[in-house]
Amino acid sequence: MTGPVRRGPVLGRVQVIEARPTGDIDALRQIASTRDASGFDGTRPGAQVSDDATPPRAPLTHRFPLAARALLTNDKLRQAIAQFDGPVRAALQRVQKLPPIAALSPTALKPEPPIAGRIDRSLKRGKPRVLFRPHDKEIQPFPLELADTWGLRHGAEVEIETTTTPSGETKQRIITDREDFGRAFVGEVAKVDGQWVARGISANRSYESVPLDAEAAAKAPSMEGQAVIVHVQNRGRPDVVGHVKEVLGSPDGAQTRFLSVATDHGLSLTHPEEAMAEVRAFQEEPITGKSFEHLPFVTIDGKDTVDLDQAVCVEDRPGGGAIVHYAIADAAYYVKEGSALDKEAVKRSLTAYLPGRSLPMLPRELSEDLCSLVADQRRRAFVVTLELDANGALVDSKFERGVIKSRAKLDFEGVQEFIDTKSGPLANQEYTRSLELLEKMGGTLMDAAKARGVVDNPEQEMRASPCDDSPVGFELKARDRLPIERFNEQISLMTNHAVAAELESHGAKALHRAHVAPEDDKIETFRRSVAALGLPWPDGMRMSDYLLTLDPTDRRTASIFRMSTRTNHRASYVPNSPGHHGLKLEHYLHFTAPMRRYPDIVAARVLAAIVEGTPLPHQDDDELDHIAKCNERAARMHGSIGAQCTAILESMLLQSRVGETIAGDVVDVSPGGFKVQLESPPAVVSVASGPLQKIAGGQFGLIRDGTAYETPRGTFGLGDRAEVRIVGVDTLEGTVEVVPAAFGDGPATRAA
């Protein structure tokens, strides 16, 4: 196990946790970059290390020679001398004359606490690699042996403990617990040395090979060579075994690959038995509460959606406007604070959506049945009633807990067809007037948002979905959002705003959504960039109004919207209401998707306490901060999973097109290259400058205020048409190798 290097004052002012040289010239370069006033003309110090917990930092003159001697072998030291110049080279030449650092003595080492960090699984030159990334940014990430990390999921929070033997040899141990080991993985059934096992099939697998339990082994001959979902028992122990939960089919199938990515990140395909026991108890309970069953609620979602969080009913308001009843699934009733369901929900924080499959935050028995607002079934719900005037302004609001019965499960396409034609199966229904008012008030709320200065981004969605006509079983399509989707979204936004304002009026904490305004320098950079593209932003005009002036058929427009998004900070969860810059709202939180996001359950519990007059839960900042961090970690994980799944699907779809030239639009440029969104499939491939320089030589770089990438064989600007040739595909890694057609048949550049 290769050790870490900490830039800190231990052992002669350079802490070397690994006694042998590591050959890390990059680490030496970082140390050299922190030069002090003394230069690099010092010699090895003879002073002893202080016993104080925080000994004073020695001058760089002392630290640098020791670092060079500790980090580099003699061969690497000679290479380093060739790479540096000036005082650094002179110092390195003197270092050559120093004796190698002796093995560390236990008496010379000050005891070090374990180093906390996370496991990072990736590929390097096609081979799996595991890095330990310390939380302390002063410690560089370092690799771990694969054999020491089997079963540890990607992103697992662990500690590294370093000890020194009497002989001076350093040893390291990974400190972890059961929850850091993946509960499940996707493997291929095989017989190895007379034993039936499941072998992990992904490129950066968490499990290499796990013996099957007796039940699975008995069925193994019929599953040999097939991909299976394996539930791991005795995680993190020598007697680990796997139980087959599901047979997926071909190990090379797209769905198999997607699930393997998810399980490698630690997403579990099942919920703990303790949580399932709580679900079974709820299934025996009668559904009681104040009845709202007279209201003709309907759900409006995608055709394949089964976790139905929201139902809507809109009525005419005397004097103009509308009365909106928005029913939200009462997940907080079932997920009791501190219960097994609650602990698992906090851990998951979010529902993960893979192409063709979801991994729900709550058990499917809840999220797709008992808690879901399915049609013609009595269901518990929070009913938020919003009274809106003719301009969409909120006049009054009411929050109640009760029981509803949805009249129908509608989909966006069907409702949009009714809105466009005012005919068809949705006409002359009990809920028809509600749909008409939803269109009217949705449009009014969108106009109100534009008046506030909210940016309505028209960028197309990239959606991966099952497709029987595709040779890989999935397709990747770009689609525009339908108007009804935007109308429905406006009702959700208004509901979230109303709940946040209600909690704020009672001084109640929850996980409010914080979104701060961008810095002036980001705005100025955006202004220069759009001017360089020939579409200047007039002084005195709001950004939202400027964006509305752009021609959606102009290929530069999509790039400008992308740049406008980058001026923004990421939104985050905080205990108190700070305002939301993007939505231009004083109060905002998440409440309307409690089966998919844990912060929504927190908001529902606090609102329920206000409505029912009970003590407020979740009022401790440390507790809310912990929940927010769990959610942030889950969001990062899901983003990584989504990106990997998309990359794998893109590589599969382009595998048969190696050698072809495909046209697309330049959608992004950076100092390292540019990105092209292809026409069909709508995949995004990256072109890096390094390999292209090997083909053409010459100067490469950004021009025109960062809106174009110049090469010796052409300039690639945002919105420009470009042609790239597909020269290689690796579906295991999810990479596509491309070269611009203008560069001929030279070596490829790899693009994920």
Q: Mention every residue, 6+ apart, whose C-beta is less than 8 A from residue 606.
A: 503, 508, 509, 510, 616, 617, 618
Mean pLDDT across the chain: 86
pLDDT band at 630 (very low <50, low <70, confident <90, very high): very high
In this structure, the number of other CB atoms found within 10 A of the CB of residue 228 comes to 26
Q: Quick check: is 221 in a domain? A: yes
Q: Of 437, 466, 481, which residue is a domain's last? A: 481
* For residue 189, pLDDT beyond 50: yes
Task: Reduce the DSSP state of residue 492 to 3 states and report it.
Answer: helix
pLDDT digit string, tens, across residues 290-299: 999 999 999 9
Number of domains in the chain: 4
Q: Are residues 247 and 213 in the same domain?
A: yes
Q: Are residues 341 and 418 in the same domain?
A: yes
* Residue 12 falls in which region: left (phi positive, over 0), alpha (psi -120 to 50) or beta: left
Q: Are residues 471 and 386 in the same domain?
A: yes
Site of tokens 């959608």: 667
Q: Are residues 266 and 306 in the same domain?
A: no
Question: What's the chain's length in residues?
Answer: 752
Tell me which of 289 and 26 has the higher pLDDT: 289
pLDDT band at 733 (very low <50, low <70, confident <90, very high): confident
Cα dihedral angle (321, 486, 380, 383), rounded to 10 degrees?
A: -20
- Determine the average pLDDT of the residues in 661-678: 93
Q: Quick check: is 630 in a domain? A: no
pLDDT band at 690 (very low <50, low <70, confident <90, very high): confident
Tell me which of 562 and 29 has the higher pLDDT: 562
Q: Are residues 318 and 453 in the same domain?
A: yes
- Determine the average pLDDT of the residues in 226-231: 95
- How much is the pLDDT for 623? 96
Q: Which residues pair with 284 in a beta bridge?
A: none
- How much is the pLDDT for 52? 41
pLDDT digit string, tens, across residues 513-568: 999 999 999 999 999 999 999 999 999 999 999 999 999 889 999 899 999 998 99
User: Could you tell me if 91 and 40 are in contact, meaning their C-beta atoms sit under 8 angstroms apart?
Assistant: yes
CATH number, domain containing residue 675 = 2.40.50.140
- How much is the pLDDT for 97? 67
Of 648, 709, 657, which is closest to residue 679 (Cα–Cα)?
Answer: 657
- Determine the average pLDDT of the residues in 171-198: 91
Q: Quick check: is 498 in a domain? A: no
Q: Quick check: is 568 in a domain? A: no
Q: Are residues 146 and 238 in the same domain?
A: no
Q: Are residues 15 and 127 in the same domain?
A: yes
Q: Are residues 291 and 263 in the same domain?
A: no
Q: Quick check: is 743 in a domain? A: yes
* For residue 501, pLDDT beyond 80: yes
User: Could you tell me if 44 and 37 are in contact, meaning their C-beta atoms sit under 8 angstroms apart?
Assistant: no
- Determine the average pLDDT of the residues in 67-90: 70
DSSP-assigned letters across all residues of 116-127? EEEEEEEEETTE
User: CA angle at residue 581 from 577 to 583, to 5 degrees?
Assistant: 95
Q: Of 433, 460, 481, which residue is a domain's last? A: 481
Q: Of 133, 162, 191, which residue is a domain's last? A: 162
Q: Are residues 189 and 122 in the same domain?
A: no
Best-predicted range by mean pLDDT among 39-53, 157-171, 407-421? Answer: 407-421
Q: Mention every residue, 6+ apart, whose C-beta is less than 8 A from residue 40.
A: 32, 60, 61, 64, 87, 88, 90, 91
Q: Where are the alpha helices (DSSP H) in 538-597?
A: 543-548, 555-566
User: CA angle at residue 405 from 402 to 406, to 5 degrees?
Assistant: 125
Helix and strand numbers, DSSP H then E, in the chain: 19, 34
Angle subtended by helix axes 412-421 and 483-505, to nearest 10: 110
Q: Is the pTM of this model over 0.85?
A: no
- How much is the pLDDT for 557? 92
Domain region containing 93: 1-162
Of 642, 673, 646, 638, which is closest to residue 735 (Cα–Cα)?
Answer: 646
What are the structure tokens assigned to 255, written together? 């769905």
- Determine the average pLDDT of the residues in 121-141: 83
- Determine the average pLDDT of the residues in 682-704: 86
- Determine the average pLDDT of the residues in 478-490: 93
Beta-strand pair 227-233/241-249: antiparallel
Q: Are residues 235 and 344 in the same domain?
A: no
* 107-121, 180-194, 399-413, range with the lowest pLDDT: 107-121
User: Could you tell me if 342 and 335 are in contact, meaning their C-beta atoms sit under 8 angstroms apart?
Assistant: yes
Q: Are residues 388 and 430 in the same domain?
A: yes
Q: Quick check: is 621 in a domain? A: no
User: CA angle at residue 225 from 220 to 228, to 5 degrees?
Assistant: 70
Report which secondary-structure segment, H or E, holds 734: none
Tell me which of 573 and 2 has the higher pLDDT: 573
Counting beta carbons within 10 angstroms of the beta carbon of residue 639, is it exposed (0 to 12), middle (13 to 18) or buried (19 or more)? exposed
pLDDT band at 5 (very low <50, low <70, confident <90, very high): very low
Angle subtended by helix axes 60-71 and 86-95, to nearest 10: 60
pLDDT digit string, tens, across residues 422-437: 999 999 999 999 999 9
CATH number, domain containing residue 216 = 2.40.50
Percent of the chain clearing pLDDT 70 (strictly above) = 86
Q: For residue 478, which phi and psi values (nearest 5 degrees)? A: -95, 135
Best-predicted range by mean pLDDT among 264-273, 277-286, 550-559, 560-569? Answer: 277-286
* For residue 35, pLDDT beyond 60: no
Question: CA-CA distance, 200 to 213, in Å (whole number)?
Answer: 16
Q: Are residues 71 and 132 in the same domain?
A: yes
- How much is the pLDDT for 72? 65
The amino acid present at 416, given as its one-letter code, is Q
* For residue 219, pLDDT beyond 90: yes
pLDDT digit string, tens, across residues 351-365: 999 998 999 999 999
DSSP single-letter state for residue 589:
B
Question: CA-CA distance, 528 to 563, in Å (whole number)?
Answer: 11
Q: Quick check: is 276 in a domain? A: no
Q: Quick check: is 407 in a domain? A: yes
pLDDT band at 68 (very low <50, low <70, confident <90, very high): low
